[in-house]
Amino acid sequence: MAKQFLKRKVTQAVIVLVACFMLIQLIRPSLDNPPVTGDLQAPPEVKSILQRACYDCHSNETKLAWFDKPAPAYWLVAAHVKEGRYLLNFSHWDSLTIDQQKGKLFESLNQIVFKEMAPRQYTTFHKDARVSEEEVKVLRKYLASLATPKLADSAMIRSAGDQYAKWTASAGRPSDVPPELNGIAYLPDYRDWQPISSTERWDNGTLRVITGNPTAVKAIREGHTDPWPDGTAFAKIAWKGLLRPTGEIMPGEFLQVEFMIKDKSKYAGTDGWGWGRWKGMQLKPYGKDASFATECTHCHQPMHDHDFVFTSPVYWKGRAGAGADTTAFDPLEWKVITSMVDKSKRTMVILYGNDAAVNAARKGQAEVYPAGSELALVTWAQKEDEHWYGANVPDSIVSIERFRTGEAPGAKLTQERITYLTGLKASVTP
């Protein structure tokens, strides 16, 4: 009797499960394949890798496997494809500018390298979405060919000069800058924060300096950077790079400033960080609506094991090379005037200044610094950024050159070198 009762219950449960399974098949989120307006153009060996590994989620040519079609698997795949097309859709490649196309390809490669694309739960069943190490090399070679540096032309130099002239002539800082579309306010003090690193993004031809607020700097000194404490804020300032015939890359036009603000409760929906970006001298908030932050979290996803932060802080104290004076002064306490890269020497440089020097430089008075001005030109060897293919970052310090107004030329700093240091213009930071 007990066996018959148990058998009847099992049968009823199976019938209910089958009925539920059949019913949920009626719930079918839309997943169509709209027309392709403009596909990616790339060499066959590159195109075939991307088509096989990426197009099912990142194009309008989605092909579902048989096991993707029944719900609830279908629900998961449909949501994944919807998100994938939003972030990157090869079928609308013609809607992007050349620079945007290149940026998407570099971002995609870095997502592949860090095993974020395609997600492991997807590649477990969709083995064609896996990209081998040999295929990664093919993609690297192709992308490197797209990022060949070009010498700055007269138009680029003139445009940067015009922007610099307007910036140095303007009184004070910009006012009434609108907040980001997610409500985050513009932080005008970012340029007075202490620089903690710099980046040469050869993938898109930009130079960047990353500054941190006092909370960030304190965390660096105390070694509390993984995770970063609430209240940490970073500013990533980007300029168009101007490549000179000598191999130096100088900051050109100011392009944008981005902020990351840590508050794990307030910004729980975006990995514990608030994101904001303001473009151009008009400081126009980035994006069409608050969903722009999805782009930020997606790009930073490879760094989820490092609190989503790409930057490795460059704190030079105790790491200086031969001849560097590390006892009398600490440039980390100062502010950044400008930065540069020397491709021929494979070095990266930041020119630091005390308040007197920085204030003069930002008014266009660098060549005649007032009394009390101090400068420090810190030169690092350059290395490939292990967190981003397409970028170089500082490694070990090569030299530190210091100059005080009123100081006579000497063996360590000749008049020629003094003229060079004081002739460096401040990077535009509105």
Q: How confident is the model at residue 388 (pLDDT cuts 50, 70, 90)?
A: very high
Report d(CA 349, CA 383) in Å as an integer. Answer: 13
More confident residue, 290 or 328: 290
Q: Percent of the chain beyond pLDDT 70?
A: 93
Quick one: average pLDDT of 325-339? 73
Asked whether residue 117 carries a pLDDT value surpassing 70, the answer given is yes
* Start-to-end C-alpha separation, the chain: 84
User: Looking at residue 77, what is its pLDDT?
Assistant: 84
User: Looking at residue 327, what is its pLDDT?
Assistant: 46
Domains of the chain: 34-146 (no CATH), 152-430 (3.50.70.20)
Strand partners, 212: 194, 234
Over the stretch 240-289, which tens digit does the pLDDT of each residue have?
A: 999 999 899 999 999 999 999 999 999 999 999 999 999 999 999 998 89
Q: How confident is the model at residue 326 (pLDDT cuts 50, 70, 90)?
A: very low
Report d(CA 21, CA 71) in Å as an integer. Answer: 8
Compute the mean pLDDT over every residue in the chain, rounded to the nearest whole number.
88
Over the stretch 268-277, which tens digit does the pLDDT of each residue have?
A: 999 999 999 9
User: Looking at residue 286, what is its pLDDT?
Assistant: 94
User: Looking at residue 324, what is its pLDDT?
Assistant: 46
Report d(CA 90, CA 160) in Å as an integer. Answer: 34
Q: Look at strands 374-384 and 284-285 and give their pairing.
A: unpaired
Show Cβ contacts of residue 146 under 8 Å, excluding neighbours closer than 6 positions: 102, 105
Bond prior to 72 in cis (omega within 30° of 0): yes
User: Looking at residue 83, what is its pLDDT?
Assistant: 86
Q: Look at strands 347-353 and 335-342 and give their pairing.
A: antiparallel
Question: Minimal CA–CA distance to 246: which of 343, 347, 155?
Answer: 343
What is the 8-class DSSP label of residue 407? P
User: Looking at residue 80, what is its pLDDT?
Assistant: 85
Strand partners, 209: 198, 237
Over the stretch 157-205, which tens digit does the pLDDT of each residue have?
A: 999 999 999 999 886 567 789 999 999 999 999 999 999 999 999 999 9
The tally of CA atoms less than 13 A away on the side-chain side of residue 261 is 18
More confident residue, 276 or 73: 276
Over the stretch 10-63, which tens digit does the pLDDT of each residue have?
A: 676 777 777 777 777 777 888 889 999 999 999 999 999 999 999 999 999 988
Q: How confident is the model at residue 315 (pLDDT cuts 50, 70, 90)?
A: low
User: Looking at residue 11, what is its pLDDT?
Assistant: 73
Asked if residues 251 and 429 have their Cβ atoms less than 8 Å apart, the reply is: no
User: Looking at residue 316, what is its pLDDT?
Assistant: 47
More confident residue, 235 or 225: 235
Asked whether residue 380 carries a pLDDT value surpassing 80, the answer given is yes
Greatest mean pLDDT range, 2-6, 296-300, 411-415 = 296-300
Q: Which two three-digit tokens encode residue 309?
A: 């932060």
Asked whether residue 320 carries a pLDDT value surpassing 50, the answer given is no
Asked whether residue 337 carries a pLDDT value surpassing 80, the answer given is yes
Over the stretch 135-160, which tens digit does the pLDDT of each residue have?
A: 999 999 999 999 888 899 999 999 99
